[in-house]
Amino acid sequence: MKNIDALKKEDMNLADKIYIFDTTLRDGEQTPGVALTVDEKIQIAQKLNNLGVDKIEVGFPASSNGEIESAKKINSLNLDSTLVGLARSLERDIDAVIDSDLSYVHTFIGTSPLHRDYKLKMSRQTVIETAVNAVEYAKDHGLTVEFSAEDATRTERDFLFDVFTSVVDAGADFLDVPDTVGVLTPVFTRELITDIRNNFSTPISVHFHNDFGLATANSLTAIECGANQAHVTVNGLGERTGNCSLEELVITLKVAYGIDLGLDTTRLYSLSHLVGRFTGVKMPVNKPIVGDNAFAHESGIHVHGILNNANTYEPMSPELVGHSRRIVLGKHTGANALRSKLKQYHIDLNEDQFCKVFDEIKSLGDSGKCVTDDDLIAIATIELGSARETPIIIKGLSLSSGANVSPTATVKLEIDGVEKETASTGVGPVDAALNAIRNLIQDSIDVELEEYNLEAITGGTDALAEVFVISSDSHGNKSTGRSTNQDIVMASILAVLDSINKLLLIQRS
Ligand code: KIV
Ligand code: ZN
């Protein structure tokens, strides 16, 4: 049997250069319910550029003035990534790409019988003429042209090749193969891309949707068969079930295939979170690479292995993608995991105390409860017989806001037994309250709020708000804070204080 390293490159027909074409800002924004502001698009484009993607599809300029505005603003940043605008095979759409100051157009037309007969109501000949006109028009205006045969994977092969031959003759620089409704499998992908590769020397791109959950597998197969480029989105966002996921493709190429595309993969996790926050589409905990559980371990056997050598139960290090490892406590927890957690919080227990805490964690787990770090600290400190005081407690809050006045929050805290009060303004009541807290605690601890996530967990105007934060101190310690409350400001304050109190406990132990 061949070993996996021997199989890697020798059995593949890899292109010399593989381009990553990110379409989070275009197909990703077509995720039902998602709409990004110009400022959010700019921030995402900057992060994609810092990650090192080759191309960023910034939008569909003909669809709105906002799309033209955001494309222009992103263009003015002079990023290293090439910026792309989408256009139907229409002169006015291509004009909108030119008006957006972009020099690379991604133009498309439906080629399958379904698209020709029911959407476009065009004959095969008219589809070819329309595509060729668009490519010629764009080339005449000095654009780089990527041509997509929409629904290529349900297009008759002879007609697909006629379309590709015609647009290549018209000057197309890239031929894109969209699996518009995600019907490919790896075996079909291999056959299709090999056939195209054998018949065309123009660079081939693939744009695969995820309806069967195979977009990443199919994109990898296409790359194995010589595709020069894959369209991807952050978190696999996109129409319906989305597109091939950027993080999955890039990391699988790097770790499983040994193909390093030169991207700074340590930025993947924070990019995923930013996009999750802006789009409101949160990743499931088990999402590969960036999900909360991607590097989380609970079972005793696994944690034991991880603590000795992380490779035992991780295919790569969390640092590679900017994530972090998490040991979770619960019914499967082993003694090693508990000892490592207690060490993290600098809690020293004797053997007897340790056994009692261990039993309590197990019985909480057996009763179906997920044991948080807070629970552990509480149980362990009670067991120590010296329940530590919570260093900072909220004692009072009053808010004022309205039209034409700056939102102001007055916050009273008890810090190590001493009451302090101050008022601050902010862009909203939450911001004002957090500013007041920052002022009050500055003599006790130097804290940075790294992440703030607010979610309504029930519906209606009396919905429960859940706030999750990550804070860090100047010693590099990090802590999470969580709180649920009907009042958004209170939930925010309690979550932030929760994380600050944990940092203080770490610093003082
Ligand atoms: O899925 C698709 O076919 C598309 C085209 C615009 C390329 O997104
Ligand atoms: Zn698409």
Q: How confident is the prediction for the chain on average, in pLDDT?
A: 92
**CA 258 from centroid of its chain's CA atoms:** 23
| Cα–Cα nearest to 90, from 131, 120, 119, 141 | 131
User: Which pLDDT band holds residue 36 (cuts at 50, 70, 90)?
Assistant: very high
For residue 125, pLDDT beyond 50:
yes
- Phi first, then psi, for residue 393 (nearest 5°) are -130, 140
pLDDT tens by residue, 126-159: 999 999 999 999 999 999 999 999 999 999 999 9
431-476 pLDDT, tens digit each: 899 999 999 999 888 888 888 888 776 566 766 777 888 888 888 7
Question: Which of 483, 485, 490, 471 is closest to 430 using CA atoms?
Answer: 490
- pLDDT at 89 > cutoff 80: yes
Residue 425 clears pLDDT 60, i.e. is over it = yes
Lowest mean pLDDT among 74-83, 301-310, 373-382, 496-505: 373-382
Name the DSSP class of 282: P
pTM of the predicted model as reported, rounded to 2 decimal places: 0.78
Q: What is the mean pLDDT of residues 107-126?
A: 98
| Cα gap 96→240, rounded to integer Å | 26
CA–CA distances in Å: residue 33 to residues 178, 181, 236, 304, 425: 23, 19, 15, 43, 33
Overall size of the chain counted in residues: 509
User: Residue 388: is its pLDDT beyond 60?
Assistant: no
Q: Which residues of 215-246 are buried (b: 16+ CB within 10 A; e: fewer)?
A: bbbbbbbbbbbbbbbbbbbbbbbbbebbbbbb
Please state, in angstroms and as integers, the Cα–Cα distance from residue 105 to each residue in 168, 194, 246, 267, 507, following that order. 15, 26, 21, 27, 54
Is the pLDDT at 55 greater than 60? The verdict is yes
Q: How far is the CA of 183 from the centre of ligand 1 (A)?
A: 13
pLDDT at 1: 46
Atom of ligand 1 nearest to the CA of 86: 6
- Res 366: pLDDT: 83
| Per-residue model confidence (pLDDT) at position 472 | 84
Concatenate the DSSP letters of all residues of 197-252 into one string.
Answer: HHH--S-EEEEEB-TTS-HHHHHHHHHHTT--EEEEBGGG-SSTT-B-BHHHHHHI
Are 49 and 80 in contact by the 8 Å Cβ rule? The answer is yes
Q: What is the mean pLDDT of residues 94-116?
A: 98
The CA 302 to ligand 2 mean position distance, Å, reads 39
Work out the pLDDT band at 375, boundaries 50, 70, 90. Answer: confident
Best CA proximity match to 329, nearest among 369, 280, 284: 369
Q: pLDDT value at position 486?
A: 78
Residues having CB within 6 Å of any atom of ligand 1: 27, 108, 148, 150, 178, 180, 207, 209
> H or E stretch including 326?
strand 326-327
| Cβ–Cβ under 8 Å, residues 203 and 144 | no
State yes or no: pLDDT of 6 exceeds 60: no
Q: Buried b vs exposed e over 168-180: b needs ≥16 C-beta within 10 Å?
A: bebbbbbbbbbbb
Nearest CA to ligand 1 atom 2: 180
If one compares 275 and 367, the residue with the highest pLDDT of the two is 275
Cα–Cα separations (whole angstroms), residue 480 to 72, 374, 503? 38, 10, 9
pLDDT over 60 (residue 379): yes
Residue type, 195: D
Residue nearest to atom 5 of ligand 1 (CA): 150
CB 263 within 8 A of CB 250: yes
In this structure, the residue with its CA closest to atom 1 of ligand 1 is: 180
* Protein residue with least CA distance to atom 3, ligand 1: 180
Q: What is the pLDDT of residue 505?
A: 78
pLDDT at 477 over 80: no
Q: Which ligand is nearest to the CA of 233?
A: 2
